[in-house]
Amino acid sequence: MLSRTADHLYWMARYTERAENTVRMLDVSYRMSLLPGANGGDTESWSAILDISELSGAFARTGRPLSACDVIEFVVLDRDNPSSVWNCLRAARENAHAVRGTLTAEMWETTNATWLEIREMTPQKLRATDLGEFFEWVKFRSHLLRGVTFGTMLHDEAFKFVRLGTFLERADNTARLLDVKYHSLLPKAEGLTSSTDFYQWGALLRSVSAFETYRHVYRDVITPYKVAELLILNADMPRSLHACLDEINGILGEIASIHSAEAARQAGELHATLHYGRMDDIFDAGLHPWLERFLVRINRLGDSIGENFLVPVAA
Amino acid sequence: MNAAKPFDEMHAADGTIRTHYQPYSEWLGHTPRELIARKRKEADLAFHRVGITFNVYGADGGKERLIPFDLLPRIIPGDEWRTLEAGLRQRVRALNAFLADIYHGQEILRAGRIPADQVLDNAQFRPEMKGVHVPGGLYAMIAGIDLVRAAGADGKGDYYVLEDNLRVPSGVSYLLENRKMMMRLFPDLFSRYDVQPVEHYPDLLLETLRAVAPAGVLDPTAVLLTPGAFNSAYFEHSFLAQQMGIELVEGQDLFVEDDTVFMRTTQGPRRVDVIYRRLDDDFLDPEVFRRDSMLGVPGLMSAYRAGRVTLANAVGTGVADDKSIYPYVPEMVRFYLGEEPILNNVPTWMLREPDDLAYTLAHLPELVVKEVHGAGGYGMLVGPAATKAEIEEFRQRILAAPEKYIAQPTLSLSTCPTFVDAGIAPRHIDLRPFVLSGGREIRMVPGGLTRVALKAGSLVVNSSQGGGTKDTWVVG
- The DSSP symbol for B194 reads -
Closest residue to A312, CB basis, from B53, B54, B268: B268
Closest residue to A255, CB basis, from B61, B250, B266: B266
Cβ contact (<8 Å) for A315 and B255?
Answer: yes
Q: Where are the alpha helices (DSSP H) in A208-286?
A: 211-218, 224-232, 241-254, 261-276, 279-285
Q: What percent of chain A has pLDDT over 90?
A: 67
Residues of B in contact with A255 (CB under 8 A): 266
Residues of A in contact with B61 (CB under 8 A): 93, 115-116, 119
The pLDDT-based confidence of B92 (bands split at 50, 70, 90) is very high
Q: Is B264 on the interface with A (CB under 8 A)?
A: yes
**Rounded Cα distance, B124 and B373, in Å:** 8
Give tens-digit pLDDT for A135-174: 999 999 999 999 999 999 999 999 999 999 999 999 999 9
**How distant is the Cα of B235 from the closest Cα of chain A, in angstroms?**
10
Q: Is B238 on the interface with A (CB under 8 A)?
A: yes
Cβ contact (<8 Å) for B242 and A101?
Answer: yes
Cβ contact (<8 Å) for B265 and A98?
Answer: no
* Residue B311 pLDDT greater than 70, yes or no: yes
Closest residue to A97, CB basis, from B57, B248, B255: B57
Q: Are the C-beta atoms of A262 and A305 separated by less than 8 Å?
A: no
Window 189-228 of B, Cβ < 8 Å to A: none
Q: What percent of chain B has pLDDT over 90?
A: 75
Residues of B in contact with A310 (CB under 8 A): 266
Closest to A248 measured CA to CA, from A234, A268, A231, A230 = A268
Give the contacts of B122 (CB within 8 A, at least 6 positions apart).
B319, B322, B324, B325, B373
Cβ contact (<8 Å) for A4 and B52?
Answer: no
* Residue A179 pLDDT greater than 70, yes or no: yes
Q: What pLDDT is stored for residue B421 in this prediction?
A: 83
Q: What is the mean pLDDT of chain A?
A: 89
Cβ contact (<8 Å) for B266 and A112?
Answer: no
Residue B188 zone, left/alpha/beta (φ > 0; ψ -120 to 50; rest): alpha
Cβ contact (<8 Å) for A257 and B266?
Answer: yes
Cβ contact (<8 Å) for A309 and B266?
Answer: yes
Distance of CA B66 to the CA centre of its chain: 19
pTM score of the predicted model: 0.84
Nearest CA in chain A to B267: A257
* Residue A268 pLDDT greater than 90, yes or no: yes
Q: Where are the domains of chain A?
A: 1-153, 156-309
Cβ contact (<8 Å) for A4 and B250?
Answer: yes
Cβ contact (<8 Å) for A116 and B53?
Answer: no
Cβ contact (<8 Å) for A4 and B264?
Answer: yes
Q: One-letter amino acid identity for B201? A: Y
The pLDDT-based confidence of A300 (bands split at 50, 70, 90) is very high
Secondary structure percentages of chain A, helix, strand, coil, to 5: 75, 0, 25
Instruction: Supply the DSSP string of B445-457, one letter for each residue.
Output: -SS-EEEEE-STT
**Domains assigned to chain B:** 19-345+412-475 (no CATH), 349-409 (3.30.1490.270)
> What is the pLDDT averaged over residues B189-217?
95
Closest to B475 measured CA to CA, from B237, B198, B230 = B198
* Residue A10 pLDDT greater than 80, yes or no: yes
Q: What pLDDT is stored for residue B374 in this prediction?
A: 55
CA distances from A282 to A218, A246, A290 (A): 19, 19, 7
Q: Is A303 on the interface with B (CB under 8 A)?
A: no
Q: Is B60 on the interface with A (CB under 8 A)?
A: no
Q: Are the C-beta atoms of A205 and A214 separated by less than 8 Å?
A: yes
B335: β partners: none
Nearest CA in chain A to B252: A4
Give the contacts of A244 (CB within 8 A, at least 6 positions apart).
A167, A168, A170, A171, A174
Q: Is B245 on the interface with A (CB under 8 A)?
A: no
Q: Are the C-beta atoms of B10 and B18 separated by less than 8 Å?
A: yes
**How distant is the Cα of A273 from the closest Cα of chain B, in angstroms?**
27
**How distant is the Cα of A51 from the closest Cα of chain B, in angstroms?**
33
The pLDDT-based confidence of A312 (bands split at 50, 70, 90) is low
Strands of B268-271's sheet in order across:
B254-257, B260-265, B268-271
- The DSSP symbol for B436 reads E
Give me the total of CB pairs closer than 8 Å, taking one residue from chain A and one from chain B: 62
Q: Is B268 on the interface with A (CB under 8 A)?
A: yes
Cβ contact (<8 Å) for A109 and B248?
Answer: no
A26-36 residues labelled b (16+ CB within 10 A) or e (exposed): bbbbbbbeeee
* Residue B52 pLDDT greater than 70, yes or no: no
Closest residue to B265, CB basis, from A2, A112, A119: A2
Count of other CB atoms within 10 angstroms of residue A285: 11
CA-based angle B374:B375:B380, to the nearest 5?
Answer: 65
The pLDDT-based confidence of A31 (bands split at 50, 70, 90) is confident
Cβ contact (<8 Å) for A100 and B54?
Answer: yes
B370: β partners: B380, B406
- Substitution target in A2, A104, A162, A310 with the highest count of B β-carbons within 10 Å is A2
Give tens-digit pLDDT for A239-252: 999 999 999 999 99
Give tens-digit pLDDT for B410-455: 888 999 999 988 889 999 999 999 999 997 889 999 999 999 998 8
Count of other CB atoms within 10 angstroms of residue A81: 20
